[in-house]
A and B are shown apart, each in its own frame.
Chain A
Amino acid sequence: MHAMGWVQLAVFTIVLLAITKPLGLYLVRVLDPRGRTYLEPVLKPVENLVYKLIGAERTGEQDWKGYAASALVLSVIGALFTYAVLRLQQFLPLNPQHFGPLSPDLSFNTAASFTTNTNWQSYGGETTMSYLSQMVALTSHNFFSAAMGISVATALVRGIARQKTKLLGNFWVDFTRVCLYLLLPISLVLAVFLVSQGVIQNFSHYRTAHVVDPYTVQVAKKSAAGLDVKDAAGKTVMVNKKIDTQSIAMGPVASQEAIKELGTNGGGFMNANSAHPYENPTPLSNFIEMLSIFAIGSGLTYYLGRMVGNQKHGWSIWTAMFLLFLVGTTICWWSESHGNPRLTSVGVSSLEGNTEGKEARFGVFDSALFATITTDTSCGAVNSMHDSFLPLGGLVPLFNMHMGCVVFGGVGAGLYGILIFVVLAIFLAGLMIGRTPEYLGKKLEAYDVMTAVLAILIPSAVLLGFTAIAAVTSWGLAGRGNLGPHGLSEILYAFTSSVNNNGSAFAGLSGNSVPYNTALALAMLAGRYFVIVPILALAGNLASKKAVPVSSGSMPVSGGTFVLLVIGTVVIIGALTFFPVVSLGPIVEHFLMVNSTKLF
């Protein structure tokens, strides 16, 4: 754990703090239908065109059911659109590598994955997707799912801030404004910056390089029918193959990379995601990518404070999130700084830490920081392979997701996720001191707590249920890339990532089979919509209440006690639900690593 890591962590924190208020204030303007921005001369005509096509009568304020209905219908139509493009990509333009259609289950999985902001990838980008599929079928959802998350969070904030009304704003207006005034301009700046660092942006066919130092490899000899030829002893016959060229994947990567981080989507253009030098070529591009993953989630806490007229509340939530982030980063970094004892025992230096599945330009610190950030949020982009982390290092991403990806969180999803925990924290505190719980002047009643509990209980049940099924069925076990406790961790990680709409993986798991694709897609859908609908119901109910003025008898929603209460609720209710299964995965693996010489 070298000093430069601490310096980088400090700089990261300072920059994050510095952008939080300006972004929060900008969000206030974007999320106000009459708010003005400097981009209006260019984008107002587009915004107005959208409203014209939707019909002016549909841009008025909606109650929670109307808001939810619009969000759900758009999701369904968007998913069908993506499914269709993936099934038909062989007939569509911008497919220089002539990739064929995706199978029905893979298309369903991918459509569900991108619609829900998960970006779980059962496919390898550069070996499967045409440029059109990447740009249109997938990137559209990078914008749309992010905008939907922010819209739902806004509706919840309005529900908290308003009183005696049923109305939460208009989904179409919020959604369109977020896409045009927030996500588009920041993505554009980010993408151009990324190109300046070496991220590619072109429409060329894959390039062929004539390698400098040709070499030979051994390959299985194939018969005319394409089968491996065996010798008399039944062993595969090997022949030499000369490698004198290298094929290099191309594509419009930068534009997708920018929104992938900013919108906490995480689906890589390339299979190796942000570890690929064409997606994340320099330590500086890495720094900016990490920052953009946290940016909007951080700005939304300021937006919350501003909208409910209690800026300290916003900063207290920011602080709770930041502390959870800091602890996670430190543990992950500490774990990965150690050499893998199995490898040091055969003569590998422990100086560089655990380098399997990590890139040399990032090293251990940048890999641990990225892994923490990408799972604190529901991003899921990776710049190192979590599957090859040491057991406790791999536990951190898992734990972060078990908390619900609420540490700055998915754009919008992080804010409404943490507010669910705030509601529960206040309810529990109310029980402890025997007083009616109230949040910002509003009494929390049975209906509110019920919706909050539903938003936590349903995803947890889906996560554990699917993991349990996969852990005892042949299709579930067949997918494992590693055996022993690590195999269980792979299965658990997959469903944790899906339900929490994260999308990162212990990627040794082969999830591209009909049962896995289907189960994971259902988990993603449940984790998204069985949360959004209760959240909007809660928003609608809160909006209809009358606020009582805050007095000395009100429960404080800022300060140290409140921060600790929120952290405690997130850790105990969120993460400890999963402690039993985690103890059978990473924790037992850690003790086996330290106390035995066992291999699997």
Chain B
Amino acid sequence: MSMKSLLLEIRASVAVIFVLGLVLCGAYPLIVWSIGQVAFQNRANGSLVERNGQVVGSSLIAQNFTGNRYFHPRPSDAGDFGYDGANSNASNLGPLSEKLYDQVKERVAAYRSDNNLPAWVQVPADAVTASASGLDPDISVGNAQLQAARVAKARKIPKSEVEKFVSRFTAGRQLGFLGEPRVNVFKLNLALDQRNSR
């Protein structure tokens, strides 16, 4: 390729990057932004939830709950202390990792003692394994059911009522066949708080 030809190719590259860049990196995201802000405002801005005029979290992002009055989310490796909404992360520990084994063993013991479960009860896997994002807002239905008695006791309300809340916040498979049934911990806990303050 001659020098002149190379320069012309470079000029063509710059022109393409400039014009297509304006359309694909400028106009395109702005159009999506405009439609999103008009048609799906809450979702486009993070599905944030306010209580008493203050943002308390997002219904899509796991938040840690440690008190007995609340359902507990899955373990998290996001950020230094887990549940860091600005630093999503997983453990990335392999199946034969000693660290994983030790962590899970400890979590199993804690889960059983928190929820007053006998040693023969098998602990739901999602309750003691870290999610992929560290921000998984959901737990399995089995996991929620095992926590219901503890929450009911701490809130001094019948277990059957807590179980009603659990089933109200259980999302089935989407369209009947997609994904897994699950319970959104954040929404469930907020609803329980609202009930108690009534």
Contact = CB atoms under 8 A, between A and B. Distances in A.
Most buried by A among B57, B81, B179: B179
B16 A81 contact: no
Given A77-B14, A213-B70, A347-B123, A272 B61 contact: no
Nearest to B80: A219
Contacts of A286: 178-179
B32 A192 contact: yes
Contacts of B88: 124, 126, 249, 270-272, 275-276
Interface residues of B, number: 110
Those 10 A-B pairs whose CB atoms lie nearest each other, nearest first: A283-B179, A275-B132, A508-B92, A363-B180, A53-B15, A272-B88, A248-B85, A283-B178, A272-B133, A486-B94
A188 B31 contact: yes
Contacts of A315: none
B105 to A, nearest CB: 5
Given A184-B28, A357-B90, A384-B132, A70 B9 contact: yes
B184 to A, nearest CB: 9
B101 A283 contact: no
Given A271-B88, A360-B182, A355 B94 contact: no
A73 B87 CA distance: 36
B128 interface: yes
B36 interface: yes
Contact of B84 (A11, A140, A247): A247
B15 A54 contact: yes
Contacts of B3: none
Contacts of B122: 347-351
17 contacts: A50-B19, A50-B20, A77-B17, A179-B20, A180-B20, A192-B32, A195-B35, A210-B54, A213-B189, A248-B86, A270-B133, A275-B133, A351-B124, A356-B130, A366-B179, A385-B132, A600-B94
A365 B171 CA distance: 17
Interface in A334-373: 339-340, 342-343, 346-363, 365-367
Interface string B157-198: 000000000000001011101111010001001100100000
Interface of A: 4, 7-8, 11, 46, 49-50, 53-55, 58, 69-70, 73-74, 76-78, 81, 124, 126-127, 135-136, 139-140, 143-144, 172, 175-176, 179-180, 183-184, 187-188, 191-192, 195-204, 206-213, 215, 217, 219, 241, 243, 246-250, 252, 254-256, 258, 270-272, 275-278, 281-284, 286-287, 339-340, 342-343, 346-363, 365-367, 382-385, 387-391, 481-482, 484, 486, 489, 506-508, 589, 592-593, 598-600
Given A70-B9, A352-B126, A54 B16 contact: yes
A360 B139 contact: yes
Given A195-B36, A353-B125, A385-B132, A249 B60 contact: no
B108 A55 contact: no
Most buried by A among B21, B61, B93, B95: B95
